[in-house]
Amino acid sequence: MTSPDPQDLSQGEAAYRSLHAAIRKGLYQPGDRLREVEVADRLTLSRTPIREALRKLESDGIVEHRARIGAVVRTLTQTEVVELYEMRVVLERTAAEMAAKHASDAEIDALEEVNQQIKAAGDDALVASAFNQDFHRCVYLATRNRFLLESARALNNALILLGPTTLADEARIKVVCQQHDDIIAAIRAGEPEAAGIAAETHLQTSLRQRLKVMRA
């Protein structure tokens, strides 16, 4: 058996990263079929690295193989969504509490700047969603805890399967930004308990909105 060509390995990793990013950005939604030929054309790669990328995404739990259909972006059930948010509450409450203990002024200023960018997005849901992801990433980074960061990364694959963003209008964005402001204020004040409560309140609100969208 011959060893894989290094260039193919490089293309396979590039295909994996590109396809992972496309799913995260919502270019491929849960339930969408991933046809090798179409994906290869879109990423201007041959089918071999695309096949490798799909296998890796399947092992990540992002893609599933369905009989007579092929590779499909996995769809979370309502039960799985609730379980996912339960884990988010555990991790992000802890992250907010630790950020209140360790965050520097520069890191807190960065949180405020990102939240302002969410506010400025107006009704552009995709832009608001991207900055929203940045906000939560910044909270994790402010914890200075590598193990918590690794746990957050492990959860990320499930998060990208949530489907379309719930930041669909300015009213919803206003609520999110106000809750972010509450988290920031508690972190800046160095109050871990208040920061944790604010983070949990924010996620519970997000879960209710997510379930509402799923039922629609």
Specify the pLDDT at position 9.
52
* CB-based contact 202:185 (threshold 8 Å): no
pLDDT given for residue 6 in this prediction:
44
Domain ranges of the chain: 6-73, 78-215
Share of the chain above pLDDT 70, in %: 96
pLDDT at 3 over 50: no
Look at residue 25 in the predicted model and tell me its pLDDT.
80
Query: CB burial class (10 A; 0-12, 13-18, 19+) of residue 90?
Result: middle
Position 10 confidence tier, pLDDT thresholds 50, 70, 90? confident
Q: What does CATH list as the number for 6-73?
A: 1.10.10.10
Structure tokens at 108: 């807190």
Percent of the residues in the chain that have a pLDDT greater than 90, as a whole number:
66
Give the CATH architecture of domain 78-215.
Up-down Bundle (1.20)
Region of 164 on the Ramachandran plot (φ > 0 left; ψ -120 to 50 alpha; else beta): beta
Q: Tokens standing for 61?
A: 């739990």
Average pLDDT over residues 112-127: 91
* Beta-bridge mates of residue 73: 63
Q: pLDDT by residue (tens digit) across 67-84? A: 889 999 999 999 999 999
**pLDDT score at 213:** 85
Average pLDDT score over residue span 170-189: 96
Residue 157 pLDDT greater than 90, yes or no: no
Phi, psi (rounded to 5 degrees) for 120: -75, -15
